[in-house]
Amino acid sequence: MRNTLSKSEILRGRNAFAEIIRDGKLFADQSVACYVASQNREAAQKKTLGGPHIRVGFVAPKKNFPRAVERNKVKRMLREVYRINKGSLIQVTERENRYLRMVIVFRGKLSRPESVSLFGHIESQWLRLVPQIISSL
């Protein structure tokens, strides 16, 4: 399996994000939260999801990161952590024939987002959430 994150895997659109946050199940750690909406194959085909088994969106709230530069940096790190560690989720969704739509939110507040320490922090919290997500499928 390749460790890439293609455009077809990225969730887009305000309505898609709002629907997942409203109807999805919340998994949260200290500063990383993940809203997950799971569907079986038939329901996914009715909504014409098709494509990859997992579609994911990333959020860094303006309230916590007032500068766009900081928000973009945090979202870049969220994407990278997901991209590197998505293998186990993909294996389970393909085996169970499930389709996931996820929104990953960084809810922490940092005075200065230092690249190395922030990346490690996000990755450790994401790795704690993945088993919870898998067990809920």
Q: Would you state the pLDDT for residue 51?
A: 65
Instruction: Compute how many other C-beta atoms are within 10 angstroms of the C-beta atom of residue 112.
Output: 7
Mean pLDDT of the chain: 85
Q: Once rounded to an integer, what is the mean pLDDT over residues 127-136?
A: 91
Return d(Cα 50, Cα 62) in angstroms, integer.
Answer: 32
| pLDDT given for residue 112 in this prediction | 61
Rounded CA-CA distance 35/133 in Å is 10
Cα–Cα distance measured from residue 98 to residue 40, given in angstroms and rounded to the nearest whole number: 5
Confidence band, pLDDT 50/70/90 cuts, at residue 62: very high
Q: Place 5 in a pLDDT band, splitting at 50, 70 and 90.
A: confident
3-state DSSP: the chain helix, strand, coil percent, rounded to 5? 50, 20, 30
User: Domains plus CATH for the chain?
Assistant: 7-136 (3.30.230.10)
Which pLDDT band holds residue 111 (cuts at 50, 70, 90)? low
- Which 3 state secondary structure label does DSSP give 34? strand
> Position of tokens 């945090």?
74
pLDDT digits (tens, 9 = 90+) for 21-47: 999 999 998 889 999 998 776 555 555
pLDDT confidence bin for 114, thresholds 50/70/90: low
pTM assigned to the model: 0.86
